Amino acid sequence: MSTDKKIAEASAHLQAAEKCLKTSFFKWNPDLDGAASEYVKAATCYRNAKLLAEARSAYLKAAEMQERMKSPFHAAKSYEQAGLLSKENKELDQAVKYMERASVMFQEHGTPDTAALCLEKAAKMVELTHPAQAVELYKRASDVADIEDRPRQSAENIGKAGRLLINLQRYEEAIECLSKEIQFYAAAENYAMISKLVLAVVMLKLTLGDYVAADQFYNSAVSYPQFPDSEESAAIYELLQAYDSGDEENARKVLALPLIKYMDNCFAKLARALVIPGGMRVGGGQKQMGGLSQINDLSDPAGGGPTQLDDEELDEGLC
C-alpha cells in the first residue's frame, strides 16, 4: 500500500471515530469503544506511513476514549505507544511524559510489574542525555516493583540508579541506592551479588575518605550468608588494612585483583581513582603529602568536594 493510500485510510478511520462520538435524538450516548478502536486503526496507518506525530495524536485520542470508558489497561497501552513514537521522533521529554502516564494507568489496572517496566523504559530513553532524570525514574521503578514484592526487579532498578549516581559523583546518594539494592538481593537470596555490592559500598566510603564508616559497613555485612567466606570479604579486609596503615603497595595489589578489575565499569573506575592516605592514587598518579586533608586528586582546588569524572568516562553512560 502506498503512503498516500495509508494516509487516506487513516483519515477514513478518523472520520469513523468522529461519527462514533456524535449523538442524536436516537443515539444519546457516544460510542466510546468504537471511537477508540478507530483511533487505534488510524494510528497504525499513520505509523506505517512514517507520520509519527499524527500516529501519536491518534493514540492519545484513543487513550482519552479508553480512560473515559474506565479501561486503564487499554489506555496504558495507548499511552505507551505514544511514548515509543515520541522516542522514535527524538522527542524525549514527551516520550518520558507518556511512559509515566502509562505507568500510572498500569498501576490503576493492578499490574505494577508492567508499570515498573514502563518507568524502566523511560529511564533508558534519557540515561545518556539526562542521567539525573533517569536516576529518579529508576528509583520509582524500583518502588513500584517493590509493591508487587518483586525484590529482584526492585534490586535491578535501584542498582541502575546507584551506578548512574556514581558517574555523577553523587556518592552519598549512590551509597543509599546500593544499600537498598543489597536489601532487595537479601530478600531474593542472591548472596553472590551482595558480596560484590558490599565491596562497592566500601570503596565508595573510602573514596569519601571515611575509613570508619567503611569498616563499620564491612563488619555489619558479615551477617549475610556466604559473605564471610567470599573472595570479596577477603579483599575488603586487606584493602581496609592497607588504607588504615597507608600501605600503598598492598592496596595496589588488592585493587588489581580480577574480582575488582572486572567489576562494573563505574566500580572499576572508583578502584583506579582511590587514594591511600600518605600514598598515591592507586591507578598511578602524583604523590600525596600527609593524610586525608592533603588528598586532592578527587577534590577541586578550593576543596569544594569531588570533581566530575572526565567527559570520556561520563559519556559511557550507565556502567
Query: What are the tens digits of pLDDT across the range 137-194?
Result: 999 999 999 988 899 999 999 999 999 999 999 999 999 999 999 999 999 999 999 9
Within a domain: 48 = yes
Of 54, 87, 110, which residue is a domain's last? 110
Pairwise CA distance, residues 113 & 107, whole Å: 8
pLDDT, tens only, 9-45: 999 999 999 999 998 777 788 999 999 999 999 999 9
The pLDDT value given to residue 23:
83
Half-sphere exposure of residue 281: CA atoms within 13 angstroms, side-chain side: 12
The pLDDT value given to residue 163:
97
Average pLDDT of the chain is: 88
Average pLDDT for 307-319: 46
Strand partners, 306: 299
Confidence (pTM):
0.83
Confidence check: pLDDT of 304 > 90: no
Of 52, 78, 110, which residue is a domain's last? 110
| Count of the separate structural domains present in the chain | 2
3-state secondary structure of 31: coil
Q: Domain limits at 49?
A: 1-110
Q: For residue 238, give the nearest of 224, 249, 227 by alpha carbon.
A: 249
Pairwise CA distance, residues 99 & 84, whole Å: 8
Within a domain: 144 = no
Of 91, 110, 129, which residue is a domain's last? 110
As given in the structure block, the three cell numbers for residue 182 are: 543489597
Residue 219 sits in a domain of what CATH number?
1.25.40.10
Stated as kind and residue range, the H or E segment containing 72 is helix 72-88
* Angle at CA of residue 233, ends 145 and 319, nearest 5°: 45
Q: For residue 45, give the nearest of 11, 18, 76 by alpha carbon.
A: 11
Pairwise CA distance, residues 34 & 62, whole Å: 10
Residues 6+ apart with CB under 8 A from 233: 195, 198, 218, 221, 222, 227
The pLDDT value given to residue 1:
54
Within a domain: 13 = yes
Stated as kind and residue range, the H or E segment containing 55 is helix 52-68
